[in-house]
């Protein structure tokens, strides 16, 4: 069996490979190499092969953007544009030589020759600059809305081969290895691998080798955007729409997304739900790992200081400015973020300084995923402050499971799935996304009676929200497809 993975460090992919291998399957996990050489190693009993991408299609498309009608008057590539500009610069330098020679000759013919060369140089400059600008405009518009509308009209792929050249590079690198391995089951993780897995399966079947395809939708691509590339979502949504009908089984991360996929694509049976919860090994990492300060100790705070904690990527759509804006209304309460530094983090620190609460905002570095739950357990309350966005509405984020297993009471924005689960389980308070006053009120309520919100953890809530609890559903699907 081959598990497709093109996202470096994707824990869901790795957990799938390890768990299925531990159940007795012969698992090969295909991934993208970090460098230019092939890498092979093991994750538990699963074999890992990471292959380098030649990047041929991506490099070509970057330097040869689709030009459109007007763009055909421009240069056909960035390399050609640079060469023409450099050649003109050299010819202009040589014109100074011609002028000096004309001065030495001193006759009318030499002066006329220089006058003609100067006029040609000026015309050449206008022409080169015009063509360069047309090329630059084509390059700037290559991923824009106009380009996207044209590409989507090209066929079932939504122009993916044109606007997403990484798909070509994936196919060139991975298809030959899949054919060589000849698996019984191909598990394609996410929308950028479903086409590769489906085409590889069709080739294997044509050669007489039976193979099943499982598509694992990590997110709801119809509601997802990639900043800076408006062509990405429609192209990848078209990939999913085209190939999902040929998958033998579909897996996703929440009941909500499962329902949407079934409705959108008319699936004969609903997708199997496998939540991306932490493993028991991750939860117990603190028992045998070398000592690591918990989040409270890392922030330099005593045991009685109220501490809100956030873990994961930070970006404006995560709504963390709401939590910072609420700190003045929460005297004595601190906020720690376990994240990586970026311009948004800098903006949050500037916001805290302007509000006079900089001493209560703590930016802490990431820790190993297997140790994160134990690290977060030192906090008082876990927070999810995301603003409303289609994908945020549809599933519980990884950080939610981390807070859950750290036994933290929660304060979360009123996202559809996060808010409903929090209310149903009685483990926290929900506030309207983007409202600092409501956030502060929710935090105050939880801190006033933490025991009430942590009581549900004494039942089977945690047992139901580990990766191990998800594995039987995944194995059940595999065994139905390949008895």
Does 258 score more than 60 pLDDT? yes
Residues 300-337 pLDDT 10s: 999 999 999 999 999 999 999 999 999 999 999 999 99
Domains 2-58+154-273 and 280-465 share a fold: yes
| pLDDT band per the 50, 70, 90 thresholds, residue 149 | very low
Residue ranges of domains in the chain = 2-58+154-273, 68-141, 280-465
Instruction: Give 380-414 pLDDT, tens digit per residue.
Output: 999 999 999 887 898 899 899 999 999 999 999 99
**Interval 471-478 mean pLDDT:** 96
State the CB neighbour count (10 A cutoff) for residue 199.
15
pLDDT category, 8, cuts 50, 70, 90? very low
Task: Transcribe 154-177 into DSSP letters.
Answer: TSTTTTHHHH-THHHHHHHHHHHH
328-370 per-position pLDDT tens digit? 999 999 999 999 999 999 999 999 999 999 999 999 999 987 7
Between residues 149 and 186, which one has the greater pLDDT?
Answer: 186
- Please give the CATH number for the structural domain made up of 2-58+154-273: 3.40.50.2000
User: 278: buried, middle or exposed (CB in 10 Å: 19+, 13-18, 0-12)?
Assistant: buried
Q: Residue written as tokens 């009318």?
A: 108
pLDDT tier for residue 85 given thresholds of 50, 70 and 90? confident
Confidence of residue 151 (pLDDT cuts 50, 70, 90): very low
Mean pLDDT over all residues of the chain?
A: 86
pLDDT (0 to 100) of residue 408: 97
Neighbours of 38 (CB within 10 A): 12
Which CATH architecture fits 280-465?
Answer: 3-Layer(aba) Sandwich (3.40)
Element at 450 (helix H, strand E): helix 450-454
């Amino acid at each position: 069996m081959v598990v497709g993975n093109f996202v470096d460090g994707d824990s869901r992919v790795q957990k799938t490979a390890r768990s299925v291998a531990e159940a007795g399957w012969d698992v090969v996990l295909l991934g993208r190499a970090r460098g230019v050489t092939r890498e092979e190693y093991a994750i538990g009993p699963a074999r890992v092969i990471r292959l380098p991408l030649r990047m041929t299609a991506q490099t070509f498309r970057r330097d040869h953007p689709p030009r459109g009608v007007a763009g055909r008057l421009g240069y056909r590539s960035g390399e050609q544009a640079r060469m023409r500009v450099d050649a003109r610069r050299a010819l202009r330098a040589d014109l100074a030589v011609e002028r000096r020679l004309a001065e030495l000759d001193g006759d009318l013919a030499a002066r006329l020759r220089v006058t003609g060369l100067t006029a040609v140089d000026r015309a050449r400059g206008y022409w080169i600059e015009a063509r360069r600008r047309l090329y630059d405009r084509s390059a700037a518009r290559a991923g824009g809305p106009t380009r996207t509308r044209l590409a989507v009209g090209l066929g079932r792929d939504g122009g993916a081969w044109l606007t997403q050249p990484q798909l070509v590079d994936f196919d060139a690198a991975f298809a030959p290895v899949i054919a060589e391995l000849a698996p019984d089951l191909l598990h394609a993780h996410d929308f950028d691998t479903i086409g590769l897995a489906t085409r590889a399966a069709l080739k294997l079947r044509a050669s007489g080798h039976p193979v099943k395809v499982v598509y694992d939708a990590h997110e709801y691509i119809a509601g997802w955007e990639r900043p800076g590339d408006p062509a990405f979502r429609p192209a990848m949504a078209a990939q999913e729409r085209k190939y999902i009908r040929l998958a033998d089984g579909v897996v996703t991360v929440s009941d909500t997304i499962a329902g949407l996929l079934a409705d959108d694509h008319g699936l004969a049976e609903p997708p199997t739900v496998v939540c991306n919860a932490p493993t028991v090994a991750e939860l117990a990492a603190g028992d045998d790992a070398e000592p690591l300060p918990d989040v409270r100790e890392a922030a330099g705070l005593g045991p009685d200081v109220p501490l809100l904690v956030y873990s994961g990527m930070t970006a404006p759509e995560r709504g963390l400015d709401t939590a910072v804006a609420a700190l003045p209304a929460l005297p004595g309460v601190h906020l720690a973020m376990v994240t990586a530094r970026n311009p948004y983090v800098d903006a949050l620190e500037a916001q805290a300084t302007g509000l006079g609460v900089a001493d209560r905002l703590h930016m802490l570095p990431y820790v190993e995923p297997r140790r994160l739950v134990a690290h977060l357990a030192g906090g008082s309350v876990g927070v999810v402050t995301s603003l409303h966005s289609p994908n945020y509405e549809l599933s519980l984020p990884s950080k939610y499971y981390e807070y859950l297993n750290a036994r933290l009471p929660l304060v979360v924005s009123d996202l559809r799935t996060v808010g409903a689960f929090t209310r149903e389980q009685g483990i926290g308070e929900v506030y309207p996304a983007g409202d600092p006053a409501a956030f502060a009120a929710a935090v105050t309520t939880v801190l006033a009676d933490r025991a009430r919100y942590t009581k549900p953890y004494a039942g089977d809530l945690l047992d139901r929200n580990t990766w191990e609890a998800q594995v039987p559903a995944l194995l059940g699907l595999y065994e139905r497809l390949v008895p």
